[in-house]
Amino acid sequence: MLIEIPELLNPAQLQKIHELLEGAKFVDGKLTAGMAAERVKHNEELEQKPELLQRLYRILMASLGHNARFRSFALPYRVADFIFARYQPGMRYGDHVDDPIMGGGKFRTDVSMTVFLNEPDSYEGGELVIRTPFGDQKVKLAAGSAVVYPSRSVHHVAEVTRGERLVALTWMQSFVRDPGQRELLFELDQAREHLLRTAPDEEHTKAVDRSYANLLRMWADL
């Protein structure tokens, strides 16, 4: 299952990110690719300038921390530093699964995230295509919106034929490693939130709330 996070970044955050990236230098994305990815990866990534990256991370991490839909779906435990990737005409990233372990061997990647930074009508192609048992899902979202999906999914980025695709990417270890269990918890959490808003004093609301807490306790892996 994949979900969209509409307006993860507000217009002011998006504008600040664009200001920070203006004139920044991008380098060949193969420099950070593993052996298998290197053969299919054709993009560019923001060069490692610690001060610039820290300012960008602060904006993105604050928006993640405040987003209830993201937290409910991903149940993030450890989140990797964002990477900023750029695709110009002719660039693409062929089918792959993301690296299983990141952060110098410190954590497992369960959930992948792409934050779209350019408006979809400003470039052609560049869809994120996620292969699922029910067919390919093509994702190309408004600037500031994000998609979150299981890191084990095979996916690719279609070739950009006009304009520029600019995205921020991150990966995270979830408190719950199994995508099916995360999906169930996400749905139950939505029902729980609704009941807590509309019928906070009902016994069945309390039962759903307790069940959510205890299922998360049963499945959480720390």
Residues making contact with Ni ion (CB under 5 A): 98
Tell me how far, at minimum, the Cβ of 128 lies from Ni ion, in Å.
8
Q: Which residue is nearest to Ni ion (CB)?
A: 98
Tell me how far, at minimum, the Cβ of 170 lies from Ni ion, in Å.
11
Tell me how far, at minimum, the Cβ of 104 lies from Ni ion, in Å.
19
Pick the closer one to Ni ion by CB: 153 or 181.
153
Task: Decide if 97 contacts 151 (C-beta within 8 A).
Answer: yes
Pick the closer one to Ni ion by CB: 40 or 191.
40
Pick the closer one to Ni ion by CB: 92 or 192.
92
Tell me how far, at minimum, the Cβ of 110 lies from Ni ion, in Å.
14
Pick the closer one to Ni ion by CB: 98 or 189.
98
Pick the closer one to Ni ion by CB: 85 or 143.
85
Q: Write the DSSP assignment of 97-111 as a string of letters.
A: ---SEETTTTEE--E
Tell me how far, at minimum, the Cβ of 65 lies from Ni ion, in Å.
23
